[in-house]
């Protein structure tokens, strides 16, 4: 209970501070000028694998239609439901433009100007390249319509105050595209792009503060309090090394879920592998493994 008050007080403080920031970035339409890009739906389906869209937006276990709304995601802040993102004009994204889609993914703002909860990992998707966004959008448009209304998010006070997310975004979120580090190899940069961008590894493997923002200093150090009471292990180079990981068996493990000792990865990582990483190219899996084992830069 004491922790609840602490969190509530902190949340209100954030709202106060965030709202006092004179430039409400959320009110200015981000200058995404990618509408001219031609998207490739096949590449987009691959980006969807990288980004794990299906897991949160499809209720597989409940037999739901593809991308018509996800299963409950129970977090310390409340229960989130991934909304319907099929092209249905009433319940889905049928009336969205590519720019609307890009703004949602990379800026966390709906076409109506409403900020999204960071349970939607736009803090990671903001790194997506223009082309990946356009490809993903082309793929989204080929999904069958489903006129199933999105569920309302179930959050208690103060987290149900959506306007307060402007403050949150002002304090904790910069929408920045990915930039290659020219001193590193192509594989390292590709791996970093995937890990920090679409694959949003840090959403589970980086601890969050009391307000749900990732702790950059503890990036990929593992975290508790995950949906379903799970705990993620650290995936820093040192921690992976201790667990007997090298680039080969890590890349292989991301395809097959195997560990060096003959055991397999379980929990929600099992699902991430089954529906996500096992579909990636060898080249990308090796890039991820290479980056994870060699990212001790800062």
Partner 1 sequence: MRNLKLKILAPVGALIIVASTGLAFAHGGATGIVKERMDLMDAVGKSMKTITEMFQGEKPFDAAALREAAAFIGNHGGEQMTRLFPEGSIQGPSESLPAIWQDWDRFSELANDLTKYASALAEAADNPRGPGMGASMNQGRQGGMGTSPMGRRNPMMGGSSSSGMPMNDPAALAKMPPDAAFARVTQTCSACHTQFRKKQ
Find the binder of partner 1 among 17, 19, 60, 224 (CB under 8 A).
60
State both tokens at 269.
């990582």
Note whether 66 binds partner 1 by CB under 8 A: yes
Residue in 211, 208, 237, 213 with CA at minimum distance from that of residue 224: 208
Instruction: Compare residues 220 and 250 and give the one whose CB is closer to partner 1.
Output: 250
Angle between helices 247-256 and 282-293 (to 10 degrees): 130
Please tell me whether the peptide bond between 27 and the residue prior to it is cis, using omega within 30 degrees of 0. no
To partner 1, the closest distance from the beta carbon of 66 in angstroms equals: 5
Q: Hey, which residues between 270 and 289 contact partner 1 (CB under 8 A)?
A: 270, 273-275, 278-285
To partner 1, the closest distance from the beta carbon of 247 in angstroms equals: 11
To partner 1, the closest distance from the beta carbon of 265 in angstroms equals: 6
Please give the Cα distance from 291 to 202 (Å, whole number): 14
Note whether 224 binds partner 1 by CB under 8 A: no
Contact 15, 171 (CB under 8 A): no
Own/partner long-range contacts of 228-232 (Cβ < 8 Å, ≥24 apart)? 228/74, 228/267, 228/268, 230/204, 230/267, 230/268, 232/204, 232/205, 232/269
To partner 1, the closest distance from the beta carbon of 285 in angstroms equals: 8
To partner 1, the closest distance from the beta carbon of 283 in angstroms equals: 6
Q: Which residue reads 């100007």 in tokens?
A: 113
Q: What is the size of the binding site for partner 1 (CB under 8 A)? A: 47
Q: Give the residue ranges of DSSP H helices in the chain.
A: 2-20, 41-51, 53-57, 98-107, 122-125, 130-140, 164-172, 186-196, 202-205, 237-242, 247-256, 267-275, 282-293
Find the binder of partner 1 among 67, 85, 164, 199 (CB under 8 A).
67
Instruction: Compare residues 25 and 74 and give the one whose CB is closer to partner 1.
Output: 74
Please give the Cα distance from 225 to 76 (Å, whole number): 7
To partner 1, the closest distance from the beta carbon of 286 in angstroms equals: 9
Note whether 44 binds partner 1 by CB under 8 A: yes
Instruction: Compare residues 98 and 273 and give the one whose CB is closer to partner 1.
Output: 273
Instruction: Compare residues 10 and 239 and give the one whose CB is closer to partner 1.
Output: 239
Note whether 255 binds partner 1 by CB under 8 A: yes
Note whether 43 binds partner 1 by CB under 8 A: yes
Helix (H) / strand (E) element for 61: namely: none
Burial of 198 (C-beta count, 10 Å sphere; 0-12/13-18/19+): buried
What string marks each residue from 111 to 150 as x (binds partner 1 by CB under 8 A) or -? ----------------------------x--xxx------
Find the binder of partner 1 among 21, 24, 231, 241 (CB under 8 A).
231
To partner 1, the closest distance from the beta carbon of 117 in angstroms equals: 23
Residue in 83, 218, 75 with CA at minimum distance from that of residue 151: 83
State both tokens at 290.
């290479």
Which residues in this chain contact partner 1 in the complex, by CB under 8 A? 41-46, 48-49, 53-54, 60, 66-67, 139, 142-144, 230-231, 248-249, 251-252, 255-258, 260-267, 270, 273-275, 278-285
């Amino acid at each position: 209970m004491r922790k609840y008050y602490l969190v509530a007080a902190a949340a209100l403080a954030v709202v106060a501070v965030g709202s006092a920031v004179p430039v409400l970035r959320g009110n200015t339409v981000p200058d995404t000028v990618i509408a001219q890009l031609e998207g490739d739906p096949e590449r987009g389906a691959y980006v969807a694998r990288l980004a794990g869209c299906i897991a949160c937006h499809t209720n597989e276990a409940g037999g739901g239609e593809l991308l018509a709304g996800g299963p409950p995601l129970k977090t310390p802040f409340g229960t989130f439901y991934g909304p319907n993102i099929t092209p249905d004009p009433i319940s889905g994204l049928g009336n969205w433009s590519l720019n609307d889609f890009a703004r949602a993914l990379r800026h966390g703002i709906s076409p109506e100007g409403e900020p999204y909860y960071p349970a939607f990992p736009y803090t990671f998707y903001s790194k997506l390249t223009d082309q990946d966004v356009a490809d993903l959008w082309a793929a989204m448009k080929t999904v069958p319509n489903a006129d199933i209304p999105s569920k309302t998010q179930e959050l208690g006070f103060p987290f149900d105050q959506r306007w307060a997310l402007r403050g949150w975004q002002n304090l904790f979120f910069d929408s920045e595209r990915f930039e290659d580090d020219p001193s590193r190899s192509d594989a390292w940069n590709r791996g970093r792009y995937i890990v920090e961008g679409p694959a949003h590894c840090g959403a589970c493997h980086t601890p969050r503060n009391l307000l749900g923002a990732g702790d950059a200093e503890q990036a990929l150090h593992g975290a508790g309090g995950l949906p379903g009471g799970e705990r993620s292990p650290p995936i820093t180079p040192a921690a992976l090394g201790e667990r007997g990981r090298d680039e080969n068996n890590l890349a292989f493990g991301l395809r097959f879920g195997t560990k060096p000792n003959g055991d397999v990865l379980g929990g929600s990582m099992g699902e991430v592998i089954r529906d996500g990483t096992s579909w990636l190219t060898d080249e990308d899996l090796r890039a991820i493994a290479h980056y994870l084992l060699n990212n001790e830069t800062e």
